[in-house]
Chains A and B, each alone.
Chain A
Amino acid sequence: MGMRKVAVVGAGMTKFVRRAQETAKELTWEAAHMALDTCEMTMDDIEAVCFGTAPDAFDGVHFNGEYVSDGAGAWRKPYMRSYVGGGTGVFVPIQGWYHIASGLFDVVLVVAEEKMSSYYPHAQAAFMTIFDHTTERPLKPNLLWIFAMEMNRYMTTYGISKADIAQVAVQHKRNAANHPCALLGDANITLDDILNSEVLAWPVQRFDVSPVSDGAVAVVLAAEHIAKRITDKPVWIEGVGWHLDTSYWTNRDLAYPRYVEYAARMAYDMAGIKEPRKEINIAEPYDPFDYKALHHLEGLQLAERGKAAELYSNGTASRTGNMPICPSGGLLGVGNPIAAAGLMKIAELFWQLRGEAGARQVPGQPEHGLAQAWGDLMQVGTVVIMGR
């Protein structure tokens, strides 16, 4: 028996903002409601709900998934919350995919929400508690520091300059100027703006980093027979992949994300993609920091090691280029409410592949798109490949 085909048939998202007035439940409800509206469904049509959000510490609520469940519409329905840190946003649709591909369900609502502003004054402090309690926490590490280490390692290994990397931030923030939900879109930002921004932890500067944000995104997934009834433009989930590396991140080669490579290979195998650089028309790699987009493009086999910056300098990555990268504006431009940011990339591919991305639409009727997220202790890669 072949695999059951699963399609995305609806998507909705709230604005990404620094400090939302809405509660986590309300944000979740808004996104879910919008997604259902776009495919003319109601909760009565939904058989199961998959939910994603990053650590409970942000909201200060134990069993946060249970607490938010009614906002996600999971009332008297099967409901599960999955979890792979920052990779969660691209993992929840994978969870929705296996709900349907298993044959147990036909229509599943997938919601991802993050409200980082509840953590006062700044969500960064919550990340103190992600480190190993014995070997790392006594050193009081900060996420910016460990990513500064990784960025440094990446630059040193391949001889990449700060300016090479800053092009990513410029392009993504410019792309985001066309996104109605974006927090940091700026059509006029320049390389100098990035390079002259405040130094946070060398070589990481303020504009190299995506903003702490609040927001929610939802998509509706349906089995083939339902999808074809709902829409004449279903976007199929063609391949999924995820890999989690060891917890001992200090033993890892930080120059190259092997876990992303393995996740990508798993997804390419499933999608039957043999030459990703030719077959992937749009890529939404995870870009919480500008260097991460490059790092991930290499892991995804969309660029040679150490050469991803060339995609930006030669125009391949631009919205009108051969392989537009983060036409949405990515996390750097749209914002980074962690789990919601990953699912935003799935929603973007859905709109792009349907030709509904408005001012952000890439030309040339793209066939296949790839979304990827990453998280934990520089440890997990999650990949979804979608196609028309």
Chain B
Amino acid sequence: MHERVAIVGIGCTGFRSITPEQSYKEMVYEAAMRAYTDAGVDPRRDVDSFITVAEDFHEGTSIFDEYTPDQIGGALKSVHTITGDGLHGIASAYMLIRTGQFDVVAVEGHSKASNIKTLPEVTAYAQDPILNRPLKLNSHFIAGLEMNRYLFESGSTPEQCAAVVVKNKFNALKNPAAAYAADLTIEDVLTGPPLSWPLGVRETAEHADGAIVMVLASEEKASSLTDKPIWILGTGWSNDSPSLEYRDWAHAIYTEVAARIAYRQAGINNPLEAVDIAEIDDTYAYKELQALEALGFCREGEAGILTTEGFTSPESGLPVNVSGGSLGMGNLLDANGLARAYEIALQLRGEAGLRQVEDVSIGLAQSWRGVPTTSGAVLILAN
């Protein structure tokens, strides 16, 4: 059994609102080559197993795992697909290596959202076909309901949610890979067009195209491959009720459970003290506040206050989404969690360029799979 596992190579391509000149296979190939070059591995010789994350309806192909092996160098090798977020993929790779049967495992996730002509309709097809689909609920409408409930129970305000947008889009100005950077004011966000009250268009991440590949290795292998291994301290994932009728609408319990598992593995009792930097799901601005509370960084109702006080800004108490998050970089469908983990890996390596945060040694990435799921994952990394 291999006890410790590290991320030894990372590569990405994107992120842009449209990529008409590239197919998803070309994007994935580009990201994979960067990750393999970064790790100094030959995928045909050195990588023991490959994991991809994808959903059929996002790809427009049934049994999409058929189309995953060639562009990552995995043809006629051990490859499997998880219909989950990229962080579920990382968790699977982590488990595979820990069994002791695998030394090097690659994880791939991508988004070609611009290819999907009817994304709102596709997303709505995730709702219960018997109870919910006849109501013709748009996914953003469900998010609006959830935001309303969260604001009501936590006492948070629309202004505090808007502050998340201002912070993340501003952070994205220093991220050359971010597609949706902007310098906005809280007023700009609140006076933007409404989407599903109290949720506004500017509080919703636009979709982007891109691909991310990561290479993980056992401790022994990692030490021969890199002098900057990024260690996995803990990983947790969880689902809550898929039913819209029976779930808790105010609290991200799936994130609470996932975090509890990850903190236990990492030996973290006080997350605010232990974690130096976090990348958190912000596909809707209120989700960042809800997740900060679920992750135990503060009590219910405090995340909004901390955000308006600047506690989650770069060079502050707990920098959150220094990359720009999904609001700044774009919503990458199944690759969202990988984008969050990618930024943490860059920061822990000290390779984040203009947006590098000083003195970071433990980082946390968290993801949510979007409406109508209650599926989330947490990954804790250290340099």
Q: Which B residues are in CB contact (< 8 Å) with A231?
A: none
Decide if B337 is an interface residue (CB 8 Å cutoff).
no
Cβ proximity bits A222-252 to B, threshold 8 Å, 1 near / 0 not = 0000000000000000000111111110000
Q: Do residues A63 and B79 form an inter-chain contact, with CB atoms below 8 A?
A: no
Q: Chain B: which residue is nearest A23 at the CB level?
A: B130
Which of A57, A79, A375, A376 is the one whose CB lies under 8 Å from B237?
A79
Q: Do residues A84 and B65 form an inter-chain contact, with CB atoms below 8 A?
A: yes
List A196-223 residues whose CB lies under 8 Å from chain B: none
Q: Which A residues are in CB contact (< 8 Å) with B77?
A: 243-244
Q: Do residues B66 and A376 form an inter-chain contact, with CB atoms below 8 A?
A: yes
From B98-106, B275-283, B345-353, give the one contacting chain A. Answer: B98-106
Q: Do residues B81 and A56 form an inter-chain contact, with CB atoms below 8 A?
A: no
Decide if A285 is an interface residue (CB 8 Å cutoff).
no
Decide if B356 is an interface residue (CB 8 Å cutoff).
no
Which of B66, B96, B257, B261 is the one whose CB lies under 8 Å from A377?
B66
Q: Which B residues are in CB contact (< 8 Å) with A129?
A: 60-62
Cβ proximity bits B370-382 to A, threshold 8 Å, 1 near / 0 not = 0011110000000
Cβ proximity bits B121-140 to A, threshold 8 Å, 1 near / 0 not = 01101101110000000000
Decide if B75 is an interface residue (CB 8 Å cutoff).
yes
Q: Chain A: which residue is nearest B377 at the CB level?
A: A78
**Chain B, interface residues (CB within 8 Å), range:** 35 or more
List A136-152 residues whose CB lies under 8 Å from chain B: none
Q: How far is the CB of A301 from chain B (nearest CB, A)?
A: 17
Which of A78, A82, A266 is the one whose CB lies under 8 Å from B82?
A82
Q: Which A residues are in CB contact (< 8 Å) with B98?
A: 101-104
Given contacts A55-B63, A78-B261, A130-B61, contact A61 B125 (CB under 8 A): yes
Cβ proximity bits B36-76 to A, threshold 8 Å, 1 near / 0 not = 00000000000000000001110011110111111000111
Decide if A76 is an interface residue (CB 8 Å cutoff).
yes
Q: Chain A: which residue is nearest B373 at the CB level?
A: A66
Q: How far is the CA of A59 from the CA of B92 in the complex (A)?
A: 26
Decide if A303 is an interface residue (CB 8 Å cutoff).
no
Decide if A80 is an interface residue (CB 8 Å cutoff).
yes
Q: Which B residues are in CB contact (< 8 Å) with A97?
A: 99
Given contacts A2-B1, A102-B99, A104-B95, contact A84 B81 (CB under 8 A): yes
Q: How far is the CA of A69 from the CA of B243 in the complex (A)?
A: 10
Q: Which A residues are in CB contact (< 8 Å) with B74?
A: 244
List B327-360 residues whose CB lies under 8 Å from chain A: none
Q: How far is the CA of A375 from the CA of B351 in the complex (A)?
A: 42
Q: How far is the CA of A16 from the CA of B214 in the complex (A)?
A: 41
Which of A82, A246, A377 is the one whose CB lies under 8 Å from B80?
A82
Q: How far is the CA of A298 from the CA of B189 in the complex (A)?
A: 64
Q: Do residues B82 and A83 form an inter-chain contact, with CB atoms below 8 A?
A: yes
Q: Which A residues are in CB contact (< 8 Å) with B369?
A: 63, 66
Q: How far is the CB of B314 from chain A (nearest CB, A)?
A: 32
Q: Which A residues are in CB contact (< 8 Å) with B123?
A: 62
Q: Which B residues are in CB contact (< 8 Å) with A247?
A: 66-70, 75
Q: How far is the CA of A271 from the CA of B197 in the complex (A)?
A: 58
Cβ proximity bits A256-270 to B, threshold 8 Å, 1 near / 0 not = 001100110010001
Q: How far is the CB of B134 from chain A (nearest CB, A)?
A: 14
Decide if A1 is an interface residue (CB 8 Å cutoff).
yes
Q: Which A residues are in CB contact (< 8 Å) with B63?
A: 54-55, 83, 85, 130, 375-376
Cβ proximity bits B85-98 to A, threshold 8 Å, 1 near / 0 not = 00010011011101
List B174-201 residues whose CB lies under 8 Å from chain A: none
Decide if A41 is an interface residue (CB 8 Å cutoff).
no
Which of B66, B239, B243 is the one whose CB lies under 8 Å from A79?
B239
Q: Do residues B99 and A77 form an inter-chain contact, with CB atoms below 8 A?
A: no
Decide if B113 is an interface residue (CB 8 Å cutoff).
no
Q: How far is the CB of A363 from chain B (nearest CB, A)?
A: 34
Q: Which A residues are in CB contact (< 8 Å) with B70?
A: 246-248
Q: Which A residues are in CB contact (< 8 Å) with B99?
A: 3-4, 97-98, 101-102
Q: Do residues B62 and A126 form an inter-chain contact, with CB atoms below 8 A?
A: yes
Q: How far is the CB of B122 from chain A (nearest CB, A)?
A: 6
Decide if B222 is an interface residue (CB 8 Å cutoff).
no
Q: Which B residues are in CB contact (< 8 Å) with A103?
A: 1, 98
Q: Do residues B57 and A62 form an inter-chain contact, with CB atoms below 8 A?
A: yes
Q: Do residues A243 and B373 form an inter-chain contact, with CB atoms below 8 A?
A: no
Decide if A75 is an interface residue (CB 8 Å cutoff).
yes
Given contacts A76-B254, A103-B1, A129-B61, contact A57 B239 (CB under 8 A): no
29 contacts between A and B (CB under 8 A): A3-B101, A4-B99, A23-B130, A57-B56, A57-B62, A63-B373, A64-B83, A65-B83, A76-B239, A78-B239, A78-B257, A78-B261, A79-B238, A81-B82, A81-B83, A85-B63, A85-B65, A97-B99, A102-B95, A102-B99, A130-B66, A242-B79, A244-B65, A244-B68, A244-B74, A244-B77, A246-B69, A247-B69, A270-B101
5 additional A-B pairs beyond A3-B101, A55-B63, A75-B240, beta carbons within 8 Å, are A55-B62, A63-B57, A78-B237, A101-B98, A242-B78
